[in-house]
């Protein structure tokens, strides 16, 4: 496995080089690619049974390596209660199928910290597209969460993360090399060293 990009919605030109996030629909799987699958908080409703059933069968697929993105968004989507219900079901699936989680979290980090503390999951949780400050990053890391950074990352936050916990993503059409370039400038490594560090971390995360 040589995955460079932990979270994107775009199929990479180099097949197998990214974890491509899909909705709970088996027809979205593509030959040769690696995937994560989950119920995004924006699409949670008061009845998610069919999505969650489809998600459970996707998690049994050998090319689906993680559950997500799922999580919390205070600016978009249904009530926080519905978002939390759907999240809790996905935590159960993640634990049952031994797949780590990729989280979308907007303005709701305290809830994730609290849930991680009370549920004590065995699987890792990674917050994707983290743009917060260094203090918040440290707090999340201290609570056992992992962070992934894209082109809009806060440099102080990137520097506050130990190298063995550093992750990178495009989330869309950005070139992952551009993300490595920006992170390498921040952490003072060259671009290929940065890429090797991040690829090793991704491989550990998905192991
Ligand atoms: Zn995304």
Sign, Cα dihedral of 199, 165, 91, 106: negative
Q: For residue 69, how far is its CA from the centre of ligand 1 (angstroms)?
A: 7
pTM of the model: 0.96
Domains of the chain: 5-206 (3.20.20.140)
Q: For residue 164, how far is its CA from the centre of ligand 1 (angstroms)?
A: 23
By the CB criterion, residues less than 5 angstroms from ion ligand 1 are 171
Q: Which stretch of DSSP H or E encloses residue 80?
A: helix 80-96
Q: Note the pLDDT tens digit of each residue in 12-62.
A: 999 999 999 999 999 999 999 999 999 999 999 999 999 999 999 999 999
Distance between CA atoms of 180 and 184, rounded to whole angstroms? Answer: 6
Q: For residue 39, how far is its CA from the centre of ligand 1 (angstroms)?
A: 11
Q: Note the pLDDT tens digit of each residue in 188-202.
A: 999 999 999 999 999
């Amino acid at each position: 496995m040589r995955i460079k990009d932990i979270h994107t919605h775009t199929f990479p030109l180099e097949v197998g080089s990214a974890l491509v996030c899909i909705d709970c629909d088996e027809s979205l799987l593509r030959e040769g690619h690696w995937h994560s699958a989950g119920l995004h908080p924006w699409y949670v409703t008061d009845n998610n049974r069919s999505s969650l059933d489809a998600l459970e069968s996707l998690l049994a697929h050998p090319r689906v390596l993680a559950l997500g993105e799922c999580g919390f968004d205070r600016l978009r989507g249904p009530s926080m209660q519905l978002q939390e219900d759907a999240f809790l079901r996905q935590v159960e699936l993640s634990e049952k199928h031994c797949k780590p989680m990729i989280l979308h979290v907007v303005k709701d980090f305290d809830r994730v910290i609290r849930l991680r503390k009370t549920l004590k999951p065995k699987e890792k949780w990674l917050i994707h597209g983290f743009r917060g400050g260094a203090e918040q990053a440290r707090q999340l890391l201290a609570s056992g969460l992992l962070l992934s950074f894209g082109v809009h990352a806060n440099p102080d936050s990137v520097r506050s993360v130990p190298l063995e916990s550093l992750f990178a993503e495009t989330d869309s059409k950005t070139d992952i090399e551009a993300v490595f370039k920006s992170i390498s400038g921040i952490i003072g490594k060259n671009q290929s060293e940065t890429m090797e560090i991040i690829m090793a971390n991704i491989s550990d995360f998905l192991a």
